Amino acid sequence: MILLSLMGVILVGLGFVMGGAVTGEEGGAFIGIIVALIIYFVLLLIAFVGGKSVMLSMGNAKEVKEDDYPQLYNIVEEMRIAAGMPFMPKVYVIQDSAPNAFAAGMSPKNSVVAVTTGLVEMMSRDELQGVVAHEISHIINRDIRYMTIATIMVAAVAIMSQVFIRAAFYGSAGRSRSSGKGGGQAQIVMLLVAVVFAILAPILIRLLYLALSRKREYLADASGARLTRYPEGLASALEKIGNSTLDLKSAGKANAAMYIANPLKGKGKRLKNLSSTHPPLENRIKILRAMGNGYSYANYQQAYQVVTSKKSVIPSSAIAGDQA
């Protein structure tokens, strides 16, 4: 929530400086904030209405029935029961030999689980169960809704920044309405501040988004191990996915974060910096294997601390609830 709040501050701040720079009046800054919020809520409405369809379309995913993939369908149903979900997610398959998977849907009631044909062919039953448990965990943890809100903030800031920077360079923004010399100088300073902020804001909000994405991946691993009672299944699956040199043809920068592992890794390359959509696979695998025979949130938290030397990644409320 702290990361999400910071993203909101950047969005509102960008609207504030842009409004002030464009109008040159005191009230202009607040008009900019209103415009920023309108853009955000319009995009959010579009995402809530058709976001799932867009994600499935981008991934070239096709719905399948139990007769098409009986084992896959059985595993999804198995993990749905383990998670206590009252509704069965729809099952989708992507015709691609690169092993990967994602979940979509704003709530468990209208959720889907999508996997590639390469994943189904490459994984054992335990490994496939681990991947499905990870994706089911994204659904029950409300990660999809959470990340959609963050994604729309990123999109809103990107749109506002591009429009303002183009307008500024073409001279349609930042024209002083004051004939006084002091007013003109103040307007130029405000314009320069706005341009700098318009350049930096998309970078800052993207870094916050990626930090949020990586944190939710760790949580989904922990929840997936808890559902299967077998952390090694997911660890082994991630190992196979990481060793694959195949790129997912339908994946791009816009939808890379929704997959269980970075689909744009190329020939053995893995992103390990602030611009990565996922935590390092090596860390995720080590943490799962460090859990041993344990599968609770507390076990995962302890393993995470040992592997990463960081304090925590699981909310204390989840650990307390798990013990109860």
Residues involved in catalysis: 135
What is the bridge-based pairing of β-strands 90-94 and 112-116?
parallel
Q: Decide if 14 contacts 161 (C-beta within 8 A).
A: yes
For residues 18 and 28, give the distance between their C-alpha atoms in angstroms, rounded to a whole number: 8
Q: What sign for the dihedral angle of Cα 36, 40, 46, 49?
A: negative
Give me the residues paired with residue 114 across strands. Answer: 92, 102
For residues 10 and 303, give the distance between their C-alpha atoms in angstroms, rounded to a whole number: 34
Residue 46 is encoded by which pair of tokens? 């579009």
Q: Decide if 186 contacts 248 (C-beta within 8 A).
A: no
Task: Find, among 217, 304, 206, the residue nearest to 259 by Cα.
Answer: 217
3-state secondary structure of 126: helix
Residue 218 amino acid letter: Y
Task: Find, among 302, 297, 315, 306, the residue nearest to 226 by Cα.
Answer: 297
Q: Decide if 319 contacts 294 (C-beta within 8 A).
A: no
SS (H, E, C) 199-211: HHHHHHHHHHHHH
Tallying the residues shown for the chain, one arrives at 324
For residues 193 and 96, give the distance between their C-alpha atoms in angstroms, rounded to a whole number: 47
Residue carrying structure tokens 């925590």? 312
Give helix 125-140 / helix 143-169 axis angle, nearest 10°.
70
